[in-house]
Structure 1
Amino acid sequence: MNRHRVLILAKIFWFLVLFCLDRTNEAANTTDFVPPYLPSDNGDNLLSTKLTTSAQRDIRNSTEEITSSTERNITNPTERNAVNSTERDIISSTENIIKLHKMLKTSRNVDSSLTPEVTTKNPISQWLNIERRMKEIINSVLKQFLPNIIRMFSTIELSGPCYSSLLKTALAVRKLKSWAMKMLDASGKIPSGIAEGTTTTFGAYDLCLGIIANNKRTKKVDFRGKYCLLEILSPFPTTPLDPRLQDTILGDFARSAHLLQGRSNRIGLCVPSTCTHQDVDKVAHVAFQDALHVSVPQCDVKEELNLSAEQIGVLSLLGTLLLLVVSGTTLDLWKQYQPDKQTLNPKKTKCWQAMSFEVLKAFSLYTNGKQMLNTNVGSGNLGALHGIRFFTMAWVILAHTYIMPPMRMYNGLINLQYAVKDVTFMVVWNSFVQVDSFFFLSGLVLVYTTMKKLNGKNGRLNLVRYVIHRYLRLTLPMMLVISLMFILPLISSGPLWNNAVESQIQRCRNTWWANMFYFSNFLNPRNACLSPYWYLSADMQLYLISPVVLITLYKWPRMGFGLITFGILASWVSVAAITLWSNFHPSIVLFDRKTFIEMGGYIHMQPYTHLGPYCIGLATGYLLLKHRNIKLKPLVVALGWIITTVSCSAVIFGAYDWHNGIKPNIVVGIIYASVHRTVFTLGLAWITCACVYGYGGPVNALLSWEPFIVLGRLTYTSYLIHPLVIYVRSGTVREGQFFSHFEQVCRFLIYLVLSMCLASVLHLIFEVPFMKLERFLLPQPTPSKSSWSSRKQKEETNGQVAPNCMSKYSSDMKEDIVTISRL
């Protein structure tokens, strides 16, 4: 429809009201009210008369155009009635404005002493005085700017409902209606600190969504508040500015452009819910006149809760788990505390009854909680691994605290250019080697546990069981956490929710199958579901090729170490070739967005990059298993710790120069890119061996601290759940967050504690129960009759013998749980 003449007034009042509010605040904060300017001589009177006549003529012409346009283009009776009603109010308001102008002009010589004096001691009188002044200012501004704004926005074509709602909002602002003033208040204003990198002004998200505009005649809701986030992409320079601009504010922005490149400014707008996404987009483009790239990525409005099929399925799954946990805990406690005389005779217990009890008992919080908090470990336990596992997990969350949240949520981003100059910031800046700790631990534990099984089976490895065990161990908890993504919209919302959470949900909706089949690391990082899960895919891919090394190590150790050496060299060559061919940095630079994405896809997320740390883990595990009593001289121990400290520090802090813009020599860059992960992992291997052989000292005391045994069991589920914690926190912020290292450390501690708490819940109600249920899916081979009498096992409760139907599931469960948890 060609309703542009009708739609103009909506835009007009929008801009007018912002100006009115500023004028109103000034008037409310002064003791003497300054009325609109009144001319004092005959020349000014004549000029004022001409301006008034011109304004009347423009308004009359605009009104005729609006009426004719409405009759021609709006055919819907409901929309026509709403627009006609609004037009009558506008025409009446315009006439009142002209009358007010004439009254003010003729009363310029009135003695001010005759004006009734409003007492300032009465609060009610003060408020009435403020209201009167606000209305006078609004009427004055409307009189001066209404015709010009009508002509300015004559090219915009808005939908009929949006136009009608905007006019109603403008008239309500003139009357100081509460809901209309709240709509203006909920919109974002120009923020302070733009020169410091403040790029977002959120407005008042909840205030906007809570606005309701009622119709007094129909007693229905005309519209609600709709929160839209306007995105403005600034053209940051990519080359040095002209020398004449170096001392200007543009020069300051140019020097910080590498921090803000690709990061848009965002302003929250509160508009009527009848305005569509396209309506808001049209207004934004006209307002900025194509000077900047403007878009409207999201609009939110409060709606009734409607569960999708995905959400119903996830809630049903959680309800089933809760029912199993309650039933299993109740049954377990009942059997734990019942008198011995009431114990059921196992000979009279039916097979299905015994199996049902074992299945329900697997979900018992009582038994699972005792096992999780148990710090008693066997003689073959590698105590230092628990501390390494926990500190690596904490390092991952610290790095993700800086990397994962949208940068637009922060105020003072310019502080980043000073933060990166701090050499200690390299712990975060160059923290991508942290994940190699997990690859090292995975290879070490795999050899350490699998070799024991090969010894008992004459070197035979059941590959089917080997793969299924690992797949179930990793996949079930991962898919549960991915399914939790779909119910996050039921928990909260916020200005950045669409950017931080909804985008991740859509990725998981499209590519969850890639996570399930473990090749998400080959997808574009921007399309992957929960991008930190690339590690699980790479780890599974290395796990699938490891039987070749395991069997070779068992039968031909020298050949096995030859394969390990070949894997390390292959990792070096592949990374060096890709780095040289693509002209990548030696390590990932956070603020180089182009290479950050490309290096993530071609190097960081690929299994060949981490093959070296994984092979070192395999070799370390074999060494610890076959040689537990190695004696070292004090000089060797001292040199080992010195070399480890220097080499690991060089890996972390040696990249300081090129992370701050100084490119390294090509040879140095290639060498660092190839071997720095392996060097860092060799340091971890020394720490592990030194602690196991008794040369760890205080380091071993710290890493083997008993609480780390419990926290180490939670690292897998905490790795799965911590991205959701960060995404939800980022999506629910209502105002800009100040960026500083202290604030980031505080957020890191919050993420760490919440992740561990949620991980403990998932560990108790899902991870441990399904590890126990794996005994039924992958039963142990039935023992021979000759060995049956020696392998009878009694149940933990009341010393009863398990029924014969459970014999094939009665392998040492405690050993299985410990073995699985180590993996």
Structure 2
Amino acid sequence: MRNIFCLLFLLNVQSRVRSQHHEWFGDVFAEVMSRFSIDSDAVLNNTQCKVANDLYTLNLRNGTHWAIRMDDASVKSIGGLLDGDVLHFGHPSQCVRTMVPTHNISGKYCLVTGEIRPVHSIEPDFYAGDFDRDYPPYNTMEHYWEGLRYKKDILWHSRSNFRWGICIPDACQTYELLTSLNRSLVSACAKNNITMTLNVTENDCYTGAEMRDRPITVGATVWVTVLLTLVCLVLAGTLYEWFLHNEMLSEKRRSPKLASLVLPFSLISNMKCLCSVPEDDKLSILFGIKALSMGILVFGHKGMVRFGHGMSNMVMVEEIFRTVSAFIIINGTIVVDTFFLVSGYLTARTLIDHLRKRGGVNILLVYLDRIMRVLPTYVSVITFYMYILPIMGEGPRYKEIAVRESNRCLKNWWTNLLYINNFVDPSNMCMLQSWYITADFQMFIFSVPIIYLLFLKPRWKIPVLVTLLTVSIGLPSFIIYWNNIWGLFPMKTDWFRDPPSVPYYTGFYIHSYNRYIPYVIGLCGFFITEYVDKAKWKFTPISKVLFFFGALCLLMGTFVYVSVRFYANPYEYNLTEHVLFAAIHRLIWSVSWTILIVINYTSKFGILSDIFQLRLWIPLSRLCLTTFMVHIGIMLYTISVDEQNWFGGYNKFFINFFGDYLFSTLMALFLTMLVEMPFENFWKRAKKIILGSPANSNSSKQQQQHSLYLNYQQEVQY
């Protein structure tokens, strides 16, 4: 009898507890926010805020237009949390454009962050995760906390953390806002057995006056002045070359000094150089490989930026990533290895050709030449981040995203220019994609002496390259084993918001020694190409088909394995699997592309070679590095000025991607014509002076003037 009584008592207690938390959080939120204003008791130490808030409350009750505008701009209800809609803006522009000169009041927009969870007695394991329940299909017959609960599924986007916009008088500070929300919303949640944690800082708020009164810094003035000067030089150089080409300048009016200054900026010659077809087309396939890889990379980064910064239907992303058809997106990070592969291949080819022609090389000059190839454009983009990005837009997340990126560059620009930003303070990295430029340069520095050694000691090729490959495979595998981490970048959308704040990104992903495998394969690919070419091997049509489909099957098999194994089905972390897979998937990707390059070099691939060698790829390939520098900045700017959450769909995403890719390519073309090619030409002239090259043999000043234009064309085309 006693046991029965205890059982009934426990059931009664359980029913009472359940009856206390039946109200949906959204209803509690709507009830509080529909009549929310700054608590008068929270502003006792801020007289200006108290006066402004009292006026706002009075006019709100009276239905005054300006007060209703501010109230109407705030978020009153939250919906879509269960589908991942965790970002609710309201109407930021309506808030900050509200100005009441008679009362000296303006709207101040704040984006508040909230985290909800049930009280411990109801759901003690809310953050623990449960493998058996953490993958779809979910049980919708459970309580709504089941839909908000933390899940071990790597694709799960957090639903218990969300943000919403509030409009308050500009005299009030975030402290008053936070205190008022704690007294109203947090207290109301507590009565319904909901624990809520809030956070808002001045960095989450902005006013119209703050945006309008941003100072134009000296750096911004200098940047714009230099830009306008370069534009004028481009116009002058283009006109001068056009006059020369059409013989519209008399001999007396031609100035060699003026020509040497402005001709490097001529659009006519630079566009011809950008689109010129190389005489040796054996490696023209690399143009297509680089251009297509850059398109895939921009596509992947578009997804990273878009998915990481909020969508009203994040559930769609989770569903897409679980399908095998999303294998390209899931494996997007491996595309960067293509550029490391091509870089290693071309570095070996260029250096060996130079050594054969001259017998030796000044390694320091080789390093300096590589630095000067990238430096002018790199500095242009970094200084744009530093001085122009923080003053060119506004929005609810502009300070959070755009100004954050600018501050990182103001703090750590020097680590980029010293090529150490992937090791020194990487969590505050200037330009989150710049790790690639640094890693590639570090691999270049390490590889040049090795290539020189292999030129001097040809018999050492196989043991040295095998040793390099073994170490490049073993080192990252050991690091993965030691730190018990994934062997590939997990598609965790919460990590996409700000990769430099993710330990996996800063502690493993961006380190050059962990990405060296494709670079070594590129070096090996060059020496294999040389051997095959000297042996005059010709691949039969059958062997080419077998190699092509074999490489394709390996690539597709690896991609599908990643999708099916890690994402489409419930997956529990297996350390051994990730240690092995980390090396294998990079080897498969790099070796497959190397096979195609070697076969194309010696025997061509028929229609496949024709596709990869289309002239369209040549300029796009030459713009790759600059496109890489600018494209994420464009995406982050677009996200930071958004005032409404984005509803995603296949067609809409592709349209947005093509827009970003096209604009990034145009900006890359602009910088290439304005900065990269002119300064590359000036550097070539500087090298001739440094190396003491003989002067022009033409003694006649008139002949020098006539040949100046032709000499410049030959120099640029080289």
Partner of 1:705: 614
2:58 is aligned, of 143, 166, 171, to 171
1:245 to 1:634, Cα distance in 2 relative to 1, 3 A = closer
State how far apart, in whole Å, the 2-side matches of 1:665 and 1:226 are.
49
Displacement of 1:412 in angstroms is: 1.4
1:580 aligns to what?
481
Report the Cα distance in structure 2 between the residues aligned to 1:796 and 1:399, rounded to whole angstroms.
55
Aligned to 2:354: 453
1:371 is displaced (CA, Å) by: 2.5
Partner of 1:228: 110
Gaps of 5+ in 1: 1-17, 23-140, 216-220, 817-823
Match of 2:244 in 1: 335
Q: Secondary structure at the match of 1:684?
A: helix
**Which residue of the other structure, out of 498, 501, 513, is the alignment partner of 2:414?**
513
Among 523, 545, 569, the alignment partner of 1:638 is: 545
Q: Secondary structure at the match of 2:283?
A: coil
Question: 1:689 deviation in Å?
Answer: 1.9
Cα drift, residue 613 of structure 1:
0.8
- The counterpart of 2:635, out of the listed 707, 710, 726, is 726
Distance 1:574 1:794, change over 3 A: farther
1:207 aligns with 2:94: yes
**What SS class does the counterpart of residue 228 from structure 1 fall into?**
strand
Pair 1:551 & 2:463 matched: no
* Higher deviation after alignment, 440-449 or 167-176: 167-176
Greater displacement, 576-585 / 732-741: 732-741
CA offsets per residue over residues 9-46 of structure 1, 9 Å max, x none?
Answer: xxxxxxxxx98998xxxxxxxxxxxxxxxxxxxxxxxx
1:488-567 matched pairs, under 5 angstroms: 488-567=389-468
Trace 1:17-28 onto structure 2 (pairs within 5 A): none
Does residue 465 (structure 1) correspond to residue 354 (structure 2)? The answer is no
Structure 2 gaps of 5+ residues are 1-29, 119-125, 134-138, 188-194
Match of 1:674 among 583, 588, 602: 583
CA distance in 1, matches of 2:516, 2:628: 21
Contact 2:373 2:680 in 1 (8 A): yes
Is 1:294 equivalent to 2:202 in the alignment?
Answer: no
Give the match for residue 508 of structure 2.
603
1:718, distance to aligned residue in structure 2 (A): 0.3
1:386 equivalent to 2:287? Answer yes
**Corresponding residue number in structure 2 for 1:61:** none
Name the counterpart of 1:130: none
Confirm or deny: 8 A CA contact 1:553 1:561 kept in the other structure.
no
1:650 aligns with 2:550: no
**2:84 — aligned with what?**
197
Kindly indicate whether the alpha-carbon contact (under 8 Å) linking 2:313 and 2:647 is maintained by their aligned counterparts in 1: yes
Which residue among 391, 400, 417 is the counterpart of 2:301? 400
Counterparts of 1:114-513 in structure 2, within 5 Å, are 154=41, 157=44, 159-215=46-102, 222-235=104-117, 237-240=126-129, 247-254=142-149, 259-261=156-158, 264-289=161-186, 291-297=195-201, 298-303=204-209, 304-339=213-248, 342-344=250-252, 354-372=256-274, 374-380=275-281, 382-405=283-306, 407-458=308-359, 460-485=360-385, 486-513=387-414
Question: CA-to-partner distance for each residue in 1:20-73, whole Å, 9 max, x for gaps?
Answer: 998xxxxxxxxxxxxxxxxxxxxxxxxxxxxxxxxxxxxxxxxxxxxxxxxxxx
Residue 663 (structure 1) aligns with: 572
Q: Is the 8 A contact 1:550 1:560 kept in 2?
A: no
Partner SS state of residue 491, structure 2: coil
Distance in 1 (CA, whole Å) between partners of 2:200 and 2:655 is 33
8 Å contact kept, 2:308–2:493: no
Match 2:666 to one of 757, 766, 771: 757
Q: For 2:408, give the aligned amino acid.
A: R
% identical aligned pairs: 19
Which structure's CA Rg is the greater one? 1
Q: 1:577 to 1:410 in 2, by over 3 A?
A: same
Over residues 235-287 of structure 1, what are the superposed CA-to-partner deviations in whole Å (9 max), with x where a residue is unaligned?
A: 49322479999612111222767523498311111111111232222222323
Say if 1:549 and 1:560, in contact at 8 Å, map to a contact too. Answer: no
Distance in 2 between residues matched to 1:733 and 1:257, nearest whole Å: 31
Asked if structure 2 preserves the Cα contact closer than 8 Å seen for 1:631 and 1:693, the reply is yes
Q: Is the 8 A contact 2:115 2:161 kept in 1?
A: yes
What SS does structure 1 have at the residue aligned with 2:149? helix
Q: Is the 8 A contact 2:285 2:600 kept in 1?
A: yes
| Alpha-carbon separation, structure 1, partners of 2:584 and 2:365 | 35
Tell me if the contact between 2:205 and 2:396 (Cα under 8 Å) persists in the aligned partners: no
- 1:794–1:800: 8 Å Cα contact kept in structure 2? no
Pick closer, same or farther for the CA change 1:229–1:793 going to 2, 3 Å. Answer: farther
Q: Is the CA contact 2:627–2:664 (under 8 Å) kept in the aligned structure 1?
A: yes
Give the aligned residue type for 2:417: M
Whether 1:619 aligns to 2:519 is no
**How far did 1:549 drift?**
2.2
Amino acid at match of 1:715: C
TM-score with structure 1 setting the length: 0.73
The structural deviation recorded for 1:468 is: 0.8
Provide the secondary structure at the position in 2 that maps to 1:265. Answer: strand
Judged with a 3 Å threshold, the aligned counterparts in structure 2 of structure 1 residues 812 and 316 are, in CA distance, closer, same or farther, namely same
- 1:483-526 Cα distance to aligned partner (Å, 9 max, x none): 11131233221112122211111111111111111011114543
User: 1:680-691 residue pairs with structure 2 within 5 A?
Assistant: 680-691=589-600
Give the letter for the 1:581 counterpart. Answer: W
1:668 offset after TM fit, Å? Answer: 3.4
Q: Distance in 1 between matches of 2:160 and 2:245?
A: 59
Change (3 A) 1:240 1:453: closer
Any idea what SS the aligned residue of 1:410 has?
coil
C-alpha contact 1:199 1:408 (8 A) present in aligned 2:
no
User: Hey, what's the Cα distance between the residues in 2 that align with 1:20 and 1:582?
Assistant: 46
Query: What amino acid maps onto 1:391 in structure 2?
Result: L
Q: Cα distance, 1:710 vs. partner?
A: 1.4
Q: How far is 1:200 from its partner?
A: 1.4
Are the counterparts in 1 of residues 304 and 493 from structure 2 also a CA contact under 8 Å?
no
Alpha-carbon distance between aligned partners in 1 of 2:101 and 2:418, rounded to the nearest angstrom: 53
SS in 2 for 1:293: strand
CA shift in 2, pair 1:475/1:702, >3 Å: same
What is the one-letter code of the residue matched to 1:745? Answer: F
Aligned partners of 1:457, 1:517: CA distance in 2, in Å? 30
Kept after mapping to 1: 8 A contact 2:82/2:159: no
- Provide the C-alpha distance between the structure 1 equivalents of 2:699 and 2:609, rounded to a whole number of angstroms: 36
**Cα pair 1:793 1:802 within 8 Å, conserved:** no
> TM-score w.r.t. structure 2 length?
0.84
CA RMSD of aligned residues (A): 3.3
Report the CA distance between 1:812 and its aligned residue.
5.0
> 2:79·2:85 contact (CA, 8 Å) conserved in 1?
yes
> Does structure 2 conserve the Cα–Cα contact (< 8 Å) formed by 1:542 and 1:607?
yes
Alignment partner, residue 54 of structure 1: none
C-alpha distance in 2 between matches for 1:464 and 1:387:
32
The number of aligned residues is 652
The code of the aligned residue for 2:239 comes to T
One-letter code aligned to 1:306: P
- For residues 84 and 701 of structure 2, the distance between their equivalents in structure 1, rounded to whole angstroms, comes to 65
* Alignment match, 2:15: none
SS in 2 for 1:778: helix
